[in-house]
Homo-oligomer: A and B are copies of this chain.
């Protein structure tokens, strides 16, 4: 059966999360968690759902970029696309005119992710895949100096570990307990509640004020005890030297990693920070704003990170996430995906399960971020049990939203926004 894509719809969906300081960090103080939400419609009535995550303002720009890419998608059949998915990826990312707007970064890459996430959803609903098909989705351009197609295939046919995941799920950590905007009382209550629900790994936002960070890290370390895991996240707040001294000042609280200590583009800076913090037993994690496989390649080559934080919407969808998972495996660096936002948990659970089952077969130093937020807007929300992601059972890439939620939160015409604007 041919699934010919006859139209692409895209909507600007925003949740007014800034009203309650959910999601606030040292660099993004007032995010309204949002998405450019894409639906592919096929001639036979099957639909594919995809999205990319944004922070509110500017979502309309990503929506327009999706509309520009739609011209390259409409009229193609799913079969044609997956027969040469690498070529299709390159069609979107290397259009002779639009390539200038990236390449493979920023708005145009976010839009590419939204469109391709919908293609993957469609494909997942339509049929299964094998390792050769998986490898054929990866664009190896610019990464053959560290990973060849042959090596990738050897990795994929090696590991196959499904049972454990089906039973126990994939370990998660929580970021929901310690956003920058929260009070001491809130922090303590949230951590205590989380411990009761089985959480053992906690991430704290830092970077705005050192004294405040010391105070908050102490409070949280006291609440969770010495044996649970603490991570800290600066959201790119520092220069290199500042990052090293600031994190050194927080080392007594034994964080496993410092996340995004400086510019997401600064590979050599992260390498310097990694080197300086290694004696303290603190690793460096980054990736949620790392836009493509070429940047991740270098982070790995330069030993600039000890935890790879892939993002389901920043990279060019599954295609490029596959490239990064495979390179991380080659360098033996654990992958701990970025999630939260809108729909990121729903998407990324597929990637990390794939990583375990088909690539790494290891949980050593591995865990997936979880934020307890906005899942109620999805038709197949993530299932968390005992602080683990349970494998999703519904077909697809899990980012179909409830139509009622989409309509209510469409910007600016949805009821939620009409009400807020009339206040």
Q: Interface code A49-60, partner B: CB below 8 Å = 1, 0 otherwise?
A: 000001111101
Q: How close is A403's CB to chain B, nearest CB, in angstroms?
A: 25
A121 to B152 alpha-carbon distance, docked (Å): 51
Q: Are B267 and A267 in contact (CB under 8 A)?
A: yes
Question: Which residue of the partner chain, among B29, B109, B143, B263, contacts A96 with CB atoms under 8 Å?
Answer: B29
Question: Which residue of the partner chain, among B58, B68, B105, contacts A265 with CB atoms under 8 Å?
Answer: B105
Q: How close is A324's CB to chain B, nearest CB, in angstroms?
A: 14
Nearest B residue (CB) for A265: B294
Q: Are B298 and A100 in contact (CB under 8 A)?
A: no
Q: Are B31 and A96 in contact (CB under 8 A)?
A: yes
Interface residues of A in 279-309 (CB under 8 A from B): 289, 291-292, 294-295, 297-298, 301-302
Known: A28-B99, A57-B95. A142 touches B263 (CB 8 A): yes
Question: Which residue of the partner chain, among B105, B107, B241, B294, contacts A291 with CB atoms under 8 Å?
Answer: B105
Question: Which residue of the partner chain, among B97, B107, B143, contacts A31 with CB atoms under 8 Å?
Answer: B97
Copy total for this chain = 2
A240 to B146 alpha-carbon distance, docked (Å): 10
Whether A402 sits at the interface, judged by CB under 8 Å, is no
User: By CB atoms of chain B within 10 A, which of A27, A100, A107 has the most?
Assistant: A100
A contact patch SS? loop
Q: Are B106 and A145 in contact (CB under 8 A)?
A: no
A81 to B28 alpha-carbon distance, docked (Å): 23
Q: How close is A143's CB to chain B, nearest CB, in angstroms?
A: 8
Residues of chain B contacted by A385 (CB below 8 angstroms):
none
A55 to B101 alpha-carbon distance, docked (Å): 8
Interface size on A, residues (CB 8 A): 62
Q: Are A32 and B269 in contact (CB under 8 A)?
A: no
Q: Interface code A261-287, partner B: CB below 8 Å = 1, 0 otherwise?
A: 011111111001000000000000000
Interface residues of A in 209-251 (CB under 8 A from B): 236, 239-241
Question: Which residue of the partner chain, among B27, B62, B109, B145, contacts A269 with CB atoms under 8 Å?
Answer: B145
Nearest B residue (CB) for A142: B263
Whether A74 sits at the interface, judged by CB under 8 Å, is no
Question: Which residue of the partner chain, among B57, B64, B105, B145, contacts A272 with CB atoms under 8 Å?
Answer: B145
Q: Are A262 and B142 in contact (CB under 8 A)?
A: yes
Whether A144 sits at the interface, judged by CB under 8 Å, is yes
Whether A30 sits at the interface, judged by CB under 8 Å, is yes
Q: How close is A343's CB to chain B, nearest CB, in angstroms?
A: 15
A109 to B109 alpha-carbon distance, docked (Å): 14
Question: Which residue of the partner chain, among B29, B31, B103, contacts A264 with CB atoms under 8 Å?
Answer: B103
Residues of chain B contacted by A406 (CB below 8 angstroms):
none
Interface residues of A in 55-80 (CB under 8 A from B): 55-58, 60-62, 64-65, 68
Question: Which residue of the partner chain, among B29, B61, B108, contacts A68 with CB atoms under 8 Å?
Answer: B61
Nearest B residue (CB) for A28: B96
A127 to B251 alpha-carbon distance, docked (Å): 50
A14 to B65 alpha-carbon distance, docked (Å): 18
Whether A131 sits at the interface, judged by CB under 8 Å, is no
Residues of chain B contacted by A269 (CB below 8 angstroms):
142, 145, 294, 298
Residues of chain B contacted by A268 (CB below 8 angstroms):
267, 297-298, 301-302
Q: How close is A391's CB to chain B, nearest CB, in angstroms?
A: 29
Q: Nearest 5 A-B pairs (CB), nearest first?
A: A106-B106, A107-B107, A57-B97, A56-B97, A142-B263
